[in-house]
Each structure stands twice: as C-alpha cells, then as structure tokens.
A and B are shown apart, each in its own frame.
Chain A
Amino acid sequence: MEFSKEQYARLLKQACPRSPLLRDCLWAFFVGGGICLLGEGIRTAWLAAGHTLSDAGTLTSATLIVISGVLTGLGWYQKLAAKAGAGTLVPITGFANAVVSPAIEFRCEGLVTGVGARMFSIAGPVLVYGLLASAVWGVIWWLIRPWLL
C-alpha cells in the first residue's frame, strides 16, 4: 500500500493518542521547577562550603548528574519521565539520563561498541551542535571584540 505524505500525516494524527496539553505542562512545570529548586539548594550548599561562584555552578551540575545517574540505574528516573516529559528532559539531569540509560541498556553489546558508542546517541548531537554554535560565537566575538573594547 502506498500513501502520499498528506495521507500518512492524517493517519498518524488519528493513530497517536492526544496527550492532554495542560496536564503535560503542569507536570513539566512542577517537576522541572522542582529539579531546578533542588539545584539551587545544592548550589547554595557548595557556596556555603567556600567555593567560588563558577566552581559552585560546576559542582552543582556534577552533583545533579550523579543523582540522575543513580536514579536512572534504579529505574526511577524513567518512571518520573513518563509523567513529567520535558520536566525531566530539559534539566541537566535529563542529559545525564540520556547518557546513562543507553549505557545500561546496551551493556550486552559490549563495553566498546555497546556502552561506549551508544552513550552518545543523544549526548553526541547535543555536544556537536553546542560546540559548533559556541565556536561560531567565538569567531564572531573575536571579530567584534576590537570595536567593543
């Protein structure tokens, strides 16, 4: 059977369950906001421990990544993600989950082509385009800097 693109799009729309937008957004807001609130608490604690502002930020990210890794290993993060959607995806914990989750899942394919390669299925594109964008900004900054200083 052959479909035109429009027919396929219409069929796809019928087949996909419509997710209730308001409920999704409330979940995303409260869980995502909650993760950031936790981050702010961790950041305050690292600052209180005597670290500089930028070191405290880095340590906060690392702490959240490890917490997310543990919760992913226990299978809890995925359960929360099923409800919270972007609330668990957008924070740095979602990035960590996107690294740790395939690492666990593809352990059976070996440590190199399984764990080592599959970890980058989502983190890879993020790093590629993040570094690309930052390099472009670096060149722009290098060009406009002499006029601004």
Chain B
Amino acid sequence: MAIGSPRETKGHAGARRAGQVTSWTMPPTGDDNSDSGRVPVFGTWRAIYVSVVVANLIVMTLIYLFSRFSF
C-alpha cells in the first residue's frame, strides 16, 4: 500500500488503514497544544491570543469611530 507522506510512520499508516479515530487525529489538549520555547514579546500563547483579540476589537472600535467622527 502506498504511503501518502514520506514522513508517515508505521503507526500513522496503520491508523489510516483502519480508518480509526486515534488520539493524534483528535484535537490536542493541554500541553500537547503548546510548542516548546518562549513566545516572543508576549511570553505565553494565551497572552498572544488575548492580545490579538483585544487588538482587533480596539482596531474595529477605532474604525467605527473614524467612520462616525464628524470631520
């Protein structure tokens, strides 16, 4: 049986053949979802995600005020 990726391991191929749901095909949880090493500037992934969301909310608010401001 041909293997889709040269990096695919025996275990992966086996899982694929069986069409089964294994832990690695499901959403990672906890530490599995983090990468090793410190996130630049923000420190943690949680901090950077929160920063992205907050920054976007601020940008949207500023754009709204820009479009409503009486020039």
**Pairing of A with B:** no
Question: Which residues does A use to contact B, with CB under 8 Å?
Answer: none
Question: Which residues does B use to contact A, with CB under 8 Å?
Answer: none
